[in-house]
Structures are given as structure tokens and as C-alpha cells.
Structure 1
Amino acid sequence: MTADEPPLSTVDALVQLSFLVQRALAEAGAEHGLSVVQIRLLGVLRDRTAGMLEIGGHLGLDKSSMTGLVSRAEKRGLVRRSPSPHDGRAVLVSLTDEGRRLTEQGAEQIGRRVAALTAGLTEAQRTELTRLAGAVING
């Protein structure tokens, strides 16, 4: 933005920021043949084993979309399914060793790309951006 351009509205600023972050995710994923939704699946499973409904809730996907997503990741050796010990009808999904390795690599690459987006900010501005983003996320 130049000095003679009007400032962005909150909506425009957040939408354009989301585009930048999505591009960072897409570029990091493309290096490993992963879509953004596959990257998000690995991110959800980074620190937990989760049921299909829980994962679907995080990703905003219905049951049939989740089944396809997990099946494709399973075929690539990135995740495994196991029966839930608490519900015989439920399936739990977790990362394989290869999935964990790829998730760690991807997190580093995404971290570098997102950090580059804020490189022009001061430390105080980055701290404030993080605080405000957290407030928006937490409602």
C-alpha cells in the first residue's frame, strides 16, 4: 500500500492475509505433492490421534470427504487407521513415522514462509499481530 492509497478495511485485510497464508501452505505442500487440505490433516494429527468426526470438525469436511482424504493419506503411508477402544464403530487416525517426518518438515517450511510475511514488522508488531489473531480465533 502506498501513502495515497486508502487503508484496507478489516474484512479486506483479513481476507488478503488469509490468501497470503493459504499460498504459503499451498507452496509448502506442493513441494511434497500435498494439497492444502492434506497439509491441514497432517497438522490436526501433529500432536494427537483423533477420530474421523473430530478431524472432520477441524477441517469442515463431511464424512464422505473425510473418508476419501484419509484413504489417500493412508495409501501414501502418512496416516494409519485403528479401531477406537471405546467405540467399536469409530475409527481413530494417527500419523505414521513417515507422516510425522513430513509433518515436521512441512511445519518448518510453513514457519519460514509465514515468518517471511511478517519480516517487515517490528517484534512488538509481531507480538500484537499474534495477540489479535489469537483473539479473533478464540472468539
Structure 2
Amino acid sequence: MNTVDALVQLSFRIQRILSDTGGEHDLSLVQMRLLGVLRDRQAGMLELAAHLGLDKSSMTGLVGRAEKRGLVRRAPSPHDGRAVVVTLTAHGHDLAARCTAEIAGRVTAFTEPLPQDQRTALTRLATALLSADARSAGS
């Protein structure tokens, strides 16, 4: 298997872990990503839309559905009276933490057959690729 095939197949496997975990909590993949982004911060709608790769109307619908489920809340931005910031509710934090723990367990089980030195190398290589991508996206 070549590098492209291996990475694509790996991404499919990880996406399945994420989708399966989300499905067990009635969350779509993009809803899971929203919870993940908001785990440790609040964010404005435009920031969230850019981070999730969504347009404004899709972002409004996503946040509205999450708000109806009691996962997030919107509040006026302290810096711009026309804008809002989105934060997780206590229920949203709890669900995000549970999903994070379940995903961690499933990914750990998936990588368990690898010896520790290979898991360490995989982490190092994935981190290097993501760092290089972030640097190129910023320029």
C-alpha cells in the first residue's frame, strides 16, 4: 500500500470511529466537531464557521439545533454588540467529555497492536504533518 492509500484508509477508519461514537449520542460528525472546538473556549459564529468550514447559514442552523438540545448557549459578544459568542452548557461539556473519552478508548484500542515505539512514531509523524499544514495554511 502506498502513502496516499494508507493515509486515506486510516482517515476512513478514524472517521468511522468518530461517526460511530457520535451516532451513539445522536450527534452528527459536524456536531461532534462543534463540541470539540468549544470544549475549552467560547467562539464567535464567524470563527466557528471558518474552523468548521461552514457558511453562515449552515453555522446558524448547527448552533440552533445544538442550542435546542441544551448543548450550547449563545450570548452577546462583549466586544461587538452585533455578534454573539457560543459556549458549551454543562450538559454540552459533559457530553463532549464522554465522547472524547469514548473516542480515546476506541483509537487506543485500534492502535494497541502496534508496539509502543511505533505508536510514539505515529504520534510524532501525525503531529509533524498537522503542524506543517497549519503553518502553510497561515501563510
| Superposed pair shares fold, TM > 0.5 | yes
Bigger share in helix: 2
Among residues 122, 125, 131, which one is paired with 1:132 in the alignment? 125
Structure 1 gap segments, 5+ residues each: 1-7
SS of structure 1 residue aligned to 2:86: strand
- How many residues align structurally? 132
Q: TM-score, normalised by structure 1?
A: 0.92
The TM-score with structure 2 as length reference comes to: 0.92
Match for 2:69: what amino acid? R
Structure 2 unaligned spans of 5+:
133-139
TM-superposed deviation, 1:106: 0.4
Corresponding residue to 2:11 among 9, 15, 18:
18
Q: Which residue of 2 aligns with 1:113?
A: 106
Determine the structure 1 residue equivalent to 2:54: 61
TM-aligned CA deviation for residue 10 of structure 1: 1.3
Q: Which runs of 4+ in 1 moved over 3 A?
A: none
Which position in structure 2 is the counterpart of 1:33?
Answer: 26
Question: Which of 20, 30, 36 lines up with 1:43 in the alignment?
Answer: 36
Q: How many angstroms does 1:128 deviate by?
A: 0.7
Q: Percent identity?
A: 65
What is the CA–CA distance in structure 1 between the aligned matches of 2:9 and 2:82, rounded to whole Å?
A: 42
